Amino acid sequence: MPDKRALDHYHDPVLTRLYDEQNPWGPDCDFFLSLIQDVPVPQKILDIGCGTGLLTTAFAKAGHCTTGIDPAQDMLDIALRRPFSDKIAWVKSDAATYKSDSRYDLIILSGHAFQVFLTDRDIQAALSNMKSHLNPNGRIAFDTRNSATKAWLNWTPKQTIETFILPQDTDHSTGKEIEVWHDVGRVRQKGEGAIVQYFTLYREKYSAQKNLTLNARKHQSDTIRTEAHIRFLSQQELSSHLESAGLKTEYLYGDWDQSPFKNDHKEMIIIACAS
């Protein structure tokens, strides 16, 4: 199928505007927010890869001293328009290079953000930097997909296509229907896991009343394809990386209901502290 040049998935302007539509509040957000439910207020919290700030602002609303960092400025621009955004320190940065004199009670990476670290060096740099920003009793919480379940096998156009209404913002009108779907490119074995190249494709959905032939041609010519690479780790690889970074696993869950991890779970949800 013809498409335009592959773009960086994390900096595409349309997908940025659709991010909250595709990733609404869910059980993962409930889980991360629950980590500070029974602790004194305020806690110092660092949200790495905060995206559009959905979870970040929930921490601030609960009264905690919150910092949100993300390398994508377009994401941060949306975050800045949320209620309680003025209570948050927003920083354009990534997990490995962020520097602050602050030390945090809780550091989180949600939304499988951990999987953007493709090399062992990348993983160690991120984990070590997070550890260096922890309070003595601080914790790190993040999620990553279990390589054993090979989630990418389900990332086909037929199984993933959805339609969203493009939301309005200060620079754009609303009302357009956008079809979005995924497809997988190269899958390269990496240790016990894999590095997966995947594409997110989208196009404007045109009215069925228009000429169907023209409609089909327009769909082809207007399809935008974005590209990303993510890494899947095994449970043993994840444990080894945590140990190498001087971190100890307090809890390893396989689901957002805090079920203990089993090999057939899709998720690996980790709470770690300095060892």
Q: Give Cβ neighbours of residue 168 (< 8 Å, ≥ 6 apart).
A: 174
Mean of per-residue pLDDT scores for the chain: 92
Domain residue limits, the chain:
19-145+234-274, 149-232
Number of H helices, E strands in the chain: 8, 12
pLDDT digits (tens, 9 = 90+) for 149-169: 999 999 999 999 999 999 876
Are 133 and 104 in contact, with CB atoms under 8 Å apart?
A: yes
When pLDDT is cut at 50, 70 and 90, the band that residue 10 belongs to is: confident
pLDDT digits (tens, 9 = 90+) for 160-217: 999 999 987 655 566 789 999 999 999 999 999 999 999 999 999 876 544 444 455 5
pTM, to two decimals: 0.91
Give phi and psi for 159, each to the nearest 5: -85, -15
Q: Summarize the confidence of residues 138-158 as an average pLDDT.
A: 98
Select 19-145+234-274's CATH number: 3.40.50.720, 3.50.50.60, 3.40.50.150, 3.30.390.50.
3.40.50.150
